[in-house]
Every structure is written in C-alpha cells, then in structure tokens.
C-alpha cells in the first residue's frame, strides 16, 4: 500500500484529538496543570539561589575580595582595610572600594519592638551600587545620620517615608528616602548609608575591618589574569572571586548547605512525576478509547511504528497546546509569589526552555508507557 507521509500522520493525530473535543479539552487541562506545577516548583528552586545573588547582581564589580572565612553574602567575615590599598596597586585594578555590613536593632522612637535590620556602609563616591534610586540620592546620603531603606523591607518596620526618624542601636537616624533592590536573604529590612554615617551609628566598630571589597578592572584588562595577580600579590587572609566563581559559590551554599535546596528540589522531582502521571493517564485513556480504530488501522496494514508515531505526535500536540497557557499562567503566579514571599521568582528564558524540554520529555515518557496498550491491540480481539 501507499506509504502515508508526515502530513498524514499530523492529520490523523489531529482528527483523533478533534473527534471528541470534551476529552481533548480535559486532557489539555490536565497537562496544563502538570506543566504549571513544574513551573511553580522550578520558580521556587531557582529563586532561592537567585535571592542569594540579588544584591551582588546590583553591585558594580569585576572581582570580589573577601576574607578566607567567607561563608555567604550575609556571613562574609572580615579582612584588614589595608588589603584594598594593596589591591589597588596591582596592575589591571582600576578601583577597590569597601562594603561594610552590620546588624542593628531598629526601633521607632516612641518604643515598640526592636527589630533586626541589615545595614550596609559604602563610599558613595565609588558608586558601588548599580541602583538608580541610590545613585539619584547622593546628596541625601551625604547628610549626617541619614540612611536609605530598601522599599522591599517588611511592613512591620513601619512607614519608610523620607524624614521619618528611627533608632538604630539606640542612636537616632533619619530615613532619607528609599530604593528598589530587594532584601534577598540579608534580613527583614536593609538600609544603605555613607560609610561615615555607618561608623558613627555603629561606634565603636573599628573602621579597619572590611567585609567585602569590590574591585573593578581597567578597561581592556583580563579579569581572570587580574584575579590571579591579586591572589599572588595579597596575603592569604583574603580570597578573590570572579563573578562566575561567586555565582557558583553562592549557588552551592544555598542548594547544599541549607534546607531550601532540598525542599524545593524534592518538590520539583515530585511535580515532575505527577506531570508524567497526568500525561500518561491522559494518553493511555485516549489510546484505550480508540483501541478498535487502532486495531482496524493495524488490520488494514498500518505498522506499529506508524501508529506509535501518531501517538507521539498526539502527545506532543497536547503538550504544545497546554504549554502556552501554562507559561502565561505561570507568569501571573510568579507575580503573586513575588509579592507574597519577596523572593525573586521570575520567568526567564532558561526556565521556559527547561520546562518545555521537561514537558516534551514527559510526553515522550508517557507516550512510551501507553504504547504497550497499542501493541496489544489485536484486530481479532477487539471485535
């Protein structure tokens, strides 16, 4: 008999799906939910390390200088300030500027809870923050005892309107304004300030101890070579991270040293299995329904391989039709999660591709599982 072309396969798969619209809609809805589930779990899984990188993503540096005790961003250890001056002399280094971190008790002057806030001191002249709101408010930062507060700080910290007076470790400070960055995993509230204000508010903290050093290289200088030169030039109480190495370090910290990686990782695995279950059940039901028709096709000479292709195409069609609305719904859910949990859950191209790949893998796996029924379709048995 005449060999049916690829167009015929598509048409047959489409006709099967279009034949009983109710069931097909149901199947697409099931796959939609399964894909959405994978999106949500993946969003969380990726959000945690991304939350850990949020502040780094908005800092200007090519190389990060830190203590050998560095654990993760909020627990960076300290190193002597003189290392920055030494680093600045290394060929290829354009600038080396310090960041100072501290925790402080935040309280409204009339009393109430003493909340934990995370404070960052920096040199505004060095422009370490790539945050427009901070750049814009340089004059505000220069005022004594004035801080800028991250607008994503928890609402329990009260209104963050400019001019509000607060106590930080029982010393008066004024909120000069706010900025949009996100607190990441630094704490419930984050405030940045000029280093002069930082040391006045946190006296008697010695100015000699730096938490992080942000190094920019001169235009044209090789980042990796500069990193190697720094590592050679500086004593071994400090270490140097390139941006990729830092991302890897923070990722590893969040996914292996804390419970979160495992929690969301296991959620992801289970969501994947549930997705396969839904798809398999859907496809197997479709095949079981059309067993007489498939048997007839077999009887008139179509091969198992041809019918298997039809089922695969059917599965892929269902997945594609379900994928688009699932991706759209996921964007909406991500926005909800962002506002509810303050985690940076975003739809990114890698997320999109990973889930599409996973969905197609799920459809292939479930189509493969349901082919057993098809192979058993014996024309003689069915009628």
Q: State the residues that interact with another protein by CB under 8 A.
A: 22-23, 26-27, 29-30, 33-34, 36-37, 40-41, 44, 68-69, 71, 75, 77, 103, 105, 107, 111-116, 154, 156, 188, 257-259, 262-263, 266-267, 270-271, 273-274, 277-278, 280-282, 284-285, 288-289, 337, 340-343
Count CB-CB contacts under 10 A for residue 382: 14
* Smallest separation (angstroms) from another protein to the CB of 82: 20
Q: Cβ closer to another protein: 57 or 108? A: 108
Q: Cβ closer to another protein: 8 or 288? A: 288
Q: Cβ closer to another protein: 34 or 55? A: 34
* Smallest separation (angstroms) from another protein to the CB of 266: 6
* Smallest separation (angstroms) from another protein to the CB of 222: 30
| Separation of alpha carbons 367 and 79, rounded Å | 58
* Smallest separation (angstroms) from another protein to the CB of 33: 5
Decide if 225 contacts 91 (C-beta within 8 A).
Answer: no
H or E element in which residue 5 lies: none
| Separation of alpha carbons 31 and 109, rounded Å | 55
* Smallest separation (angstroms) from another protein to the CB of 165: 17
Q: Cβ closer to another protein: 93 or 260? A: 260
| Separation of alpha carbons 165 and 183, rounded Å | 21
Residue 286 exposed, middle or buried by CB count within 10 Å (0-12, 13-18, 19+): buried
Which positions ≥6 away from 284 have C-beta within 8 Å?
Answer: 366, 369, 370, 373
| Separation of alpha carbons 242 and 226, rounded Å | 10
Closest CA to 202 of 119, 292, 80: 119
Give the tokens for residue 347.
Answer: 């739809």
* Smallest separation (angstroms) from another protein to the CB of 72: 10
* Smallest separation (angstroms) from another protein to the CB of 341: 4
* Smallest separation (angstroms) from another protein to the CB of 75: 6
3-state secondary structure string across 118-160 = EEEEECHHHCCECCHHHHHCHHHHHCCCEEEEECCCCHHHCCC
Q: Cβ closer to another protein: 151 or 267? A: 267
* Smallest separation (angstroms) from another protein to the CB of 245: 17
Strands 238-242 and 190-194: unpaired
Q: Cβ closer to another protein: 125 or 273? A: 273
| Separation of alpha carbons 187 and 217, rounded Å | 31
Which position has the token pair 């607190």? 183
Q: Cβ closer to another protein: 85 or 270? A: 270
Q: Cβ closer to another protein: 303 or 336? A: 336
Which positions ≥6 away from 268 have C-beta within 8 Å?
Answer: 38, 41, 42, 45
- Residue 320: C-alpha distances to residues 14, 272, 324, 342 (Å): 13, 17, 7, 31
| Separation of alpha carbons 297 and 16, rounded Å | 13
Q: Cβ closer to another protein: 301 or 339? A: 339
Q: Cβ closer to another protein: 247 or 255? A: 255
* Smallest separation (angstroms) from another protein to the CB of 135: 29
Give the tokens for residue 110.
Answer: 């009339």
């Amino acid at each position: 008999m005449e060999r049916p072309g690829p167009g015929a396969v598509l048409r047959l798969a489409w006709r099967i799906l279009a034949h009983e619209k109710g069931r097909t809609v149901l199947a697409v809805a099931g796959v939609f939910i399964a894909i959405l589930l994978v999106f949500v779990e993946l969003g969380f899984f990726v959000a945690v390390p991304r939350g850990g990188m949020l502040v780094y993503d908005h800092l200007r540096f090519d190389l990060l200088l830190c203590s050998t005790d560095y654990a993760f961003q909020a627990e960076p250890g300290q190193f002597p300030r003189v290392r920055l001056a030494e680093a600045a002399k290394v060929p290829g280094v354009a600038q080396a500027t310090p960041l100072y971190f501290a925790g402080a008790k935040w309280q409204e002057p009339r009393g109430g809870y003493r909340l934990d806030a995370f404070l960052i001191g920096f040199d505004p002249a060095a422009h370490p923050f790539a945050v427009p709101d901070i750049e814009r408010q340089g004059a505000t930062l220069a005022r004594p005892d004035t801080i800028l507060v991250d607008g994503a700080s928890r609402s329990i910290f009260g209104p963050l309107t400019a001019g509000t007076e607060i106590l930080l470790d029982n010393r008066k400070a004024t909120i000069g304004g706010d900025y949009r960055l996100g607190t990441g995993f630094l704490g419930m509230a984050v405030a940045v300030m000029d280093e002069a204000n930082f040391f006045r508010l946190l006296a008697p903290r010695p100015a000699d101890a730096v938490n992080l050093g942000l190094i920019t290289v001169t235009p044209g200088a090789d980042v990796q070579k500069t990193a190697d030169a720094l590592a050679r030039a500086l004593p071994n109480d400090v270490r140097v991270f390139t941006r990729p190495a830092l991302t890897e370090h923070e990722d590893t910290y969040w996914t292996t040293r804390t419970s979160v990686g495992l929690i969301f990782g296991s959620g992801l695995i289970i969501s994947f299995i549930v997705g396969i279950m839904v798809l398999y059940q859907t496809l197997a039901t479709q095949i079981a329904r059309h067993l007489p028709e498939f048997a007839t096709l077999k009887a008139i000479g179509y091969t198992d391989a041809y019918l298997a292709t039809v089922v695969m195409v059917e599965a892929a069609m269902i997945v594609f039709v379900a994928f688009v609305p699932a991706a759209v719904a996921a964007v909406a859910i991500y926005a909800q999660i962002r506002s509810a949990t303050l985690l940076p859950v975003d739809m990114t191209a890698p997320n999109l591709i990973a889930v599409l790949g996973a969905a197609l893998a799920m459809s292939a796996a479930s189509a493969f599982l349901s082919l057993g029924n098809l192979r058993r379709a014996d024309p003689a048995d069915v009628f």
